[in-house]
Amino acid sequence: MAHKIILDTDPGIDDAMAIFFAFQSPDIEVLGLTTVYGNVPVTMSAQNALTLCELADQDIPVTKGVGMPWVGPESGYAHFVHGDDGFGNIDFPASKRELDPRSSAQYIVDMARQHPGEITLVAIGPLGNLALALRLEPELPNLVKGVVIMGGAAFVKGNVTPVAEANIWNDAHAAEIVFAAPWDLKMFGLDVTNDVPFTLDFLDELETKNPKLGGFVKKSSQFYVDFYSQDRDDRVCFFHDAMPLAYLVDPSLFEFTRGHARVSTDPLNKGQTTVAPEGSTPSPLWLEAQQIDAATKVDHDRLRKLYIDTYSY
């Protein structure tokens, strides 16, 4: 039986690769795309999601969500990673499809009520939409099957600050709300996503297996590869956002550490995700924190094969 998911996203080059993976997988049913600011402003994020749906011939709802952090001023955007258009400046024609009129948070709540216990929320951008959905419906953790996110850095350094990963740093207060909720949360952070570089040969193979969708990923990724290949001898990039989706298809790809987790909202350490493994601390402040499963290892070769095989469908 396919996993019913709502995919919360800020497309984004690696978001595009992940979204196509979800669309292609026979094990995943994407009910809708909810969009959030992050890699790009939220209006562009929503437009890009519509474009990806049209390219993939997917007629599903797309909603526009939060465009600001839970606390503080508007964030800067990762134009130096994803380009000014979020797609590596390839000037791809924008879809003329219409957005669903609901907010992303309201859509999440509506669908969770409609399909109680069936939906997995997959969040691959900042967590503002999930935090707002929790405010709209405090029973949300009892209405969804679980939450899998791309974000954080449990036992490795950050990529925006020495301690923080971009998605969590972008909306640390929202992330703390999401991490504190009593649901089954699995985190795929830099511990695993930065461990698997993807070469140009991988992009070539994606295009060969699926000229339409893989070709889009290859073309848009050239800008992305330029960013990641600075100060390296090889040309690579990292498809962070597809890993939570790969987990749904094949959980055996990953190893996890279970522990109590908190997100720092302190200005100096904003967005730091700290995981205290079970039995590692007697501190009440930590023992009261919700437990999550943080991915710490991934089978590189099998993960690559899963991506390629899925793009072949």
pLDDT tens string, the chain, 313 residues long: the values are 799 999 999 999 999 999 999 999 999 999 999 999 999 999 999 999 999 999 999 999 999 999 999 999 888 898 999 999 999 999 999 999 999 999 999 999 999 999 999 999 999 999 999 999 999 999 999 999 999 999 999 999 999 999 999 999 999 999 999 999 999 999 999 999 999 999 999 999 999 999 999 999 999 999 999 999 998 989 999 999 999 999 999 999 999 999 999 999 999 999 999 999 988 888 888 899 999 999 999 999 999 999 999 999 9
> Catalytic site residues?
10, 240
CB count in 10 Å sphere of residue 26: 9
58-95 b/e with 16+ CB inside 10 Å = b? bebbbbbbbbebbeeeebebbeebbbebbbbeeebeeb
Tokens representing 142?
Answer: 């009892």
H/E run at residue 174:
helix 172-180
- Which residues, including other chains, have CB under 8 Å from residue 257's CB and lie 6 or more apart? 154, 155, 275, 277, 293, 294, 296
Tell me the whole-structure pTM to 2 decimals.
0.97
Tokens representing 8?
Answer: 């919360």
Structural contact between residues 56 and 88, judged by C-beta atoms closer than 8 angstroms:
no
